[in-house]
Amino acid sequence: MISRRLLRLKVMQILYSYYTQKNIDVKQIENELKLSVNKTYELYHILLSLIVAIKNYEQQRLELRERRYIKSTNPEDYSKNFINNRLILLIENNDQLFKFINGIKFNWNNYNEILHSFHEKLWKFKNFKDFLLIKNVNFKQEKKIVIDIYTKIIADDEDLEMFLEEQSLYWNDELELCISQIIKTLKKFTLDKGNENKLMNMFTCEEDKYFYLDLFNITISKQNEIISKLKKYIENWEIERIAVVDKIILELAVTEFFYFPDIPTKVTLNEYIEIAKHYGTEKSNIFINGILDKMLKEEKKLNNIKKSGKGLIGEI
């Protein structure tokens, strides 16, 4: 679930804390890195359970409407299409999801104002009202409305973003990522699997469990060597004058070039240039690309960068 790009980004962020704070223990900051990764996986589960909480809130509202003496003339007000949505029921009864949610002791019912806010937004959402009026709704339609709610309401909700930021500093800018992974998860849900539909694993492969920690530890332990390598290719600049984020991105890329033989240099280069575009200074990606490209050409000529393993076709 958690991509290598996000793992690289988390290492970059934690190294920023390490380099800019005084008297901070490496083990302490490493534990923060682990916590940051765990919190992303936690958010994935919390947001997946949100649709169930929204459904339960809508069920309560429907029961209130049914008890009114003066009835509404709008047929959608009494539709049970949403509260009987079979995809949501699969999520609600998913053993894996609610074992996790119970383990972290999170409950959306403690945040009624958030649920009320989504209730108001749902009833302004044309797709939702159209769904309520469908007769003999099928599973494909049920899945579509849930995905629509996630992509068109939840993913863009500023109130939810503020709420998540208040809950955890590790959840800044992670709403979009988790929603995208939830959509991938829900697209694979089927009725026949019942409560055994699978959720995503924290890591996309076994190697990623160790990749981000190795990247962090090697970058710190080999920093003097990495800086020495960089100085040869940074013209007209003192390494100390480079912006902290740019410097960290360069260090991480060099770490992968020289100390991760199974990662193609092209992958490393592309990943850190993309990170620089979003998190560096205005011209960081151009600056970083120039230095790393020059380093690669020279160090490969000297046979100092050695790569081996799968996925290295075209690696010189």
The rounded percent of the chain whose pLDDT value lies above 70 is 96
Task: Answer whether residue 212 is part of any domain.
Answer: no
Degrees, nearest 5: CA angle 254-260-261: 115
Instruction: Give 66-106 pLDDT, tens digit per residue.
Output: 888 778 888 899 999 999 999 999 999 999 998 999 999 99
> How does DSSP classify residue 237?
-
Q: How far apart are CA 11 and CA 99, in angstroms?
A: 29
Q: How far apart are CA 65 and CA 73, in angstroms?
A: 11
Domain range for 274 is 222-301
**Same domain for 53 and 117?**
yes
Instruction: Give 124-136 pLDDT, tens digit per residue.
Output: 999 999 999 999 9
Q: Which residue has the tokens 């339609």?
A: 141
Residue 313 has pLDDT above 70, yes or no: no
User: What confidence score (pLDDT) does residue 314 get?
Assistant: 52
Instruction: Give 170-208 pLDDT, tens digit per residue.
Output: 998 899 999 999 999 999 999 999 989 999 999 999 999
**Same domain for 234 and 124?**
no
Task: Answer whether residue 103 is part of any domain.
Answer: yes
The full DSSP string for 164-219 is HHHH-GGGTT-HHHHHHHHHHHHHT--GGGGGGPPPPPSBSSTTHHHHHHHHHHHH
Task: Answer whether residue 214 is part of any domain.
Answer: no
Task: Answer whether residue 24 is part of any domain.
Answer: no
Domain boundary among 178, 196, 214: 196
**Counted domains in the chain:** 2
Alpha carbon separation from 62 to 77, 145, 288 (Å, rounded): 7, 18, 57
User: What confidence score (pLDDT) does residue 264 get?
Assistant: 94
Residue 316 has pLDDT above 80, yes or no: no
**Same domain for 44 and 191?**
yes
**Same domain for 47 and 175?**
yes
**Same domain for 180 and 253?**
no
Task: Answer whether residue 213 is part of any domain.
Answer: no
pLDDT confidence band for 220 (50 / 70 / 90): very high
**Same domain for 170 and 243?**
no
Q: List the structure tokens of 40.
A: 């992303």
The full DSSP string for 84-107 is T-HHHHHHHT-HHHHHHHHHHT--
**Same domain for 276 and 136?**
no
Residue 272 has pLDDT above 60, yes or no: yes
CATH number of the domain at 237, please: 1.10.940.10
**Same domain for 94 and 226?**
no
- The overall pTM is greater than 0.85: yes
Task: Answer whether residue 313 is part of any domain.
Answer: no
Torsion sign across C-alpha atoms 257, 261, 267, 271: negative
Q: Is there a contact between 175 and 161 (Cβ–Cβ < 8 Å)? A: yes
Residue 237 has pLDDT above 70, yes or no: no
User: What confidence score (pLDDT) does residue 117 get?
Assistant: 97
Task: Answer whether residue 111 is part of any domain.
Answer: yes
Task: Answer whether residue 272 is part of any domain.
Answer: yes
Q: Is there a contact between 72 and 133 (Cβ–Cβ < 8 Å)? A: no
**Same domain for 174 and 234?**
no
Domain boundary among 162, 196, 230: 196
